[in-house]
């Protein structure tokens, strides 16, 4: 695992992100193909499980950090004092120990969970939380149509796991003028974005310096997680939902969807995209 300023280690080797499985072709020829692995991953804080995700067993330290940030468990990476990645027969636990004040804040927050069927942190006052918006993000960059095309192409070129399996989503961070892109992949689109958020935090990269690029549709949670990491532009190859558009408008986010080369549609805050 790559990590951050705190000690991160695997106690048991986690499974690979892809495995070879037997199959039959349409002509009944037996062979194998690479398929994406997924397994239960538990987010455990100070000994208490807060959420269980189905995720690709890769970049798990990034997932732990990113989930903690985008779901408001911590406000900055320094609040996580220690992390262990512990793989077992039933799945993987991401065990984190928080700074004392952060742990108290999480315990107080969890007291307000609604019923046993609440889905982890989103069970907090669930109707209001589902539509939450934070402060509007600060806009520091503007993109041209050519840069949008470059961002989408760079994301496609970086999807190594999806090229093997054809079964994963990706989230990338495009910085104008930068020759490389930070990309994370996962069977779950939310997980891919959380992994990206964790990777940016671990690398001390500020979300306001670039745009989030997605292979998936843009639901309201994807906008919420993007604003949590401070980015003001989302570019997606698929379409957004109506609530995602309204949330992006309220949050100051330029939402670009159905991006195909230099062709795309702008759904909110068009001033983030230059006309040339």
Annotated active-site positions, please? 119
* Cβ atoms 85, 198 nearer than 8 A: no
Structure tokens at 155: 């994301």
Q: What is the DSSP string of 69-114?
A: HHTTS-SSGGGEEEEEEEEETTEEEEEEEE-HHHHHHHHHHHTTB-
Q: Which of 175, 174, 197 is nearest to 184 (CA)?
A: 197
CA 205, 57, 155, 243: dihedral to nearest 10 degrees? -80
List, in sequence order, every residue forming a beta bridge with 266; answer none if it has no partner: 256
**Hey, how many other C-beta atoms are within 10 angstroms of the C-beta on 25?**
9
Exposed (0-12), middle (13-18) or buried (19+): which is 217, by Cβ within 10 Å?
A: middle
């Amino acid at each position: 695992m790559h990590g951050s300023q705190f000690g991160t280690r695997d106690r048991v080797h986690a499974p690979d992100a892809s495995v070879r499985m037997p199959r039959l072709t349409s002509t009944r020829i037996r062979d194998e193909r690479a398929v994406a692995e997924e397994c239960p991953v538990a987010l455990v804080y100070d000994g208490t499980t807060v959420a269980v995700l189905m995720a690709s067993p890769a970049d798990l330290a990034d997932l732990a950090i990113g989930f903690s940030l985008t779901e408001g468990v911590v406000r900055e990476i320094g609040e996580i004092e220690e992390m262990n990645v512990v793989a077992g027969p039933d799945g993987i636990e991401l065990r984190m120990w928080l700074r004392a004040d952060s742990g108290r804040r999480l315990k107080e927050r969890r007291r307000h969970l609604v019923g046993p069927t609440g889905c982890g942190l989103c069970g907090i006052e669930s109707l209001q939380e589902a539509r939450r918006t934070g402060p509007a993000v600060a806009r520091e960059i503007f993109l041209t149509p050519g840069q949008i095309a470059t961002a989408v192409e760079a994301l496609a070129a970086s999807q190594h796991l999806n090229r093997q399996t054809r079964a994963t989503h990706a989230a990338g961070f495009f910085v104008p003028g930068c020759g490389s892109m930070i990309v994370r992949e996962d069977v779950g689109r939310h997980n891919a974005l959380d992994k990206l958020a964790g990777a940016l935090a671990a690398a001390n990269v500020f979300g306001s310096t670039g745009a989030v690029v997605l292979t998936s549709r843009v639901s309201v949670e994807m906008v919420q997680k993007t604003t949590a990491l401070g980015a003001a532009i989302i570019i997606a190859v698929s379409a957004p939902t109506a609530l995602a558009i309204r949330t992006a408008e309220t949050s100051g986010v330029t939402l670009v969807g159905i991006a195909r080369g230099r062709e795309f549609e702008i759904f909110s805050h068009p001033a983030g995209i230059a006309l040339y």
